[in-house]
Amino acid sequence: MGCMVSQLAAKFAFFPPSPPTYNLKKRDDGKLTVVSTAAPIPHADDTSLDVLLVDTKHGNKIVAFYLRNPYARLTLLYSHGNAADLGQLYDLFVQLKVNLRVNLMGYDYSGYGASTGKPSESSTYADIEAIYECLETEYGVSQEDVILYGQSVGSGPTLHLASKLPRLRGVVLHSGILSGLRVLCHVKFTFCFDIYKNINKVKKVKCPVLVIHGTEDEVVNWLHGNGLWKMARESYEPLWIKGGGHCNLELYPDYIRHLCKFIQEMESMTTEKRLKKIRQSAKESKSSICSTCSTCCTMKCCRFKCPECSNCCSDCMNVSWSINCPECCCRPSCIKCCRFPKFPSCLGSSCCTKCLWPSCCGVTKCSLPSCYPKCARPSCCMSCFCWQCCVGKHSNGTIGKQNG
């Protein structure tokens, strides 16, 4: 059922121009060139453009344009919207290449333009993976020098790839979507049959994310862009274009101005600075784990998995018990919680590492003795901390020995 709904959603998500605005023709030297009368096309003698046919893991052949800028330091991988193909976007690609001073790789999804196959969520994922691999193998571009750009539906494959590449230079989300279903209706939950679940993937992106969205977008509400910006780990200053719609943001001067600023800052961010920032972020997230707990176990914060044990600090011990679960201060045999009580009369935390006798720690009885249904001798739970006897693993002789 979920698969059928997903296929139905795909029909509403993809609108490839029909007929395509361009065709491919092979020249005498074996290279591909573009032939079209419906849109501006590259000149056959343009040496800065490579027209490529790239194989995907789904068995499709997709068309890609690689526009070379001799002054570029970064490469922009552009994933377009759902109702355009490369023939319509070539003029925009030239402007971006010149104004942003970048190399630009644009591609048509399966079933778009002269690309073979049929468009679907999974095929767009395979498409962008194949294009990125082409950048690596054919042009020697590393992920540190790549900025992913996704417009509208293109935000789906963009965030799919970005969530898998930890060292990307940056990501641009142009009129991006939270998910496919959320474009059609305002739902608060993510369903299994939803497509392009960007709401989950944007949280995994580890590089700066620039969000561009029009405040009067009639197709994808501005709230989608705002949500993506808020959920990104490293949000860059967003661009909310006042009065901007879904397909006309490139016409506003602020669009290219803000993009130039973003590209320049990404260029100045060296690999050393980027790694330093990643280490600092990891260090901060690690230290924040125990920031609310003043007395923590030596290995991990004393957090109870049981909902009834929400107060971590009140029962936290400054000692790591070898017989307990390493992730929480509770007995492994306990089904509910059975927490160790605080030791107010303990002479020192060192005694806890040397003995298991409750008398030295001021404990007279188990806080929840009823949670030992398997114990062969329930009375033993009142006087010892031996979890093995509480689950009935000790023999009768061992239990007697413990009580003696």
Residues 322 and 353: their CA atoms lie apart, in Å, by 9
The identity of residue 187, as a single letter, is V
* CA neighbor of 8 nearest in space, from 177, 213, 184: 184
Cα–Cα–Cα angle for 206, 210, 213, rounded to 5 degrees: 140
Helices (H), 235-270: 253-268
In a 3-state reduction of DSSP, which class is residue 171?
strand
CA atoms within 13 A on the CB side of 65: 33
- Burial (0-12, 13-18, 19+ Cβ within 10 Å), 252: middle
The identity of residue 36, as a single letter, is S
Residues 202 and 211: their CA atoms lie apart, in Å, by 11
Two tokens, residue 87:
């023939």
Catalytic site residue from 110, 123, 152, 163: 152
254 contacts 235 by C-beta, under 8 angstroms: no
Catalytic site residue from 80, 246, 258, 394: 246
Catalytic site residue from 217, 224, 258, 333: 217
- Please confirm, yes or no, whether 217 is among the known catalytic residues: yes
Dihedral of CA atoms 352, 357, 361, 367 in degrees, nearest 10, equals: 110
- Please confirm, yes or no, whether 174 is among the known catalytic residues: no
- Please confirm, yes or no, whether 85 is among the known catalytic residues: no
Residues 325 and 322: their CA atoms lie apart, in Å, by 8
Question: Which positions are catalytic?
Answer: 152, 217, 246
